[in-house]
Amino acid sequence: MKKYSFRLQKLLDIRIDKEEECKRTFQKVQKDKFEAENKLNDLKNSYKKHNRVEQEDTTIERKMRQQYLSTLSNSINVATTDLEKKIKVVDDVRVELKQKQMDRKTVEILKEKSWQNYLKEQEAIEQKCNDEFALYGFFRNLKGGELSDR
């Protein structure tokens, strides 16, 4: 009986490695996106917290607060733009990951079909051997029966 070997195993291994690498990249960009979302939320919360006008504040305090809020507003705009870029990167990497998974699954399907064909061949070989043994046994019994009949 011959040993089963898949001719495209190296290709399958390469595609699995590429998929794993893409998964790691996806996790990294997703983490970056999550951090950008947290940063944006922190900035927005800080803006809400300092956006109150206090009657007791002096003109200088109001001016400083206004300056701080203006800086926060600019930071929020930058963080929003950064988050949008990170969302796009996550979407791009997600599409790439799906493609790599399809590539791997394609080769795995070929491997499964090849394995099934191998099993069918082995079953056919085994059946042929069993048929030959049965035929030899039949002829042996037939010859033995003829000799005892004479």
Q: What is the pLDDT of residue 144?
A: 67
CA-based nearest residue to 69, from 84, 55, 95, 50: 50
Question: What is the spatial distance between Cα 31 and Cα 44, in angstroms, rounded to a whole number?
Answer: 20
Question: What is the spatial distance between Cα 150 and Cα 148, in angstroms, rounded to a whole number?
Answer: 6
Break the chain into its structural domains and give their ranges: 9-107
CB atoms closer than 10 angstroms to residue 22: 18
**C-alpha of 32 from chain center:** 18
Collapsed DSSP state (helix, strand, coil) of residue 52: coil
Residues of the chain with pLDDT under 50: 150
Q: What is the pLDDT of residue 1?
A: 62
CATH code for the structural domain at 9-107:
1.10.287.510
Percent of the chain with pLDDT over 90: 73
**C-alpha of 80 from chain center:** 28
CA-based nearest residue to 116, from 127, 124, 105: 124
Task: Look up residue 110 and give its two tokens.
Answer: 């070929």
pTM of the model: 0.74
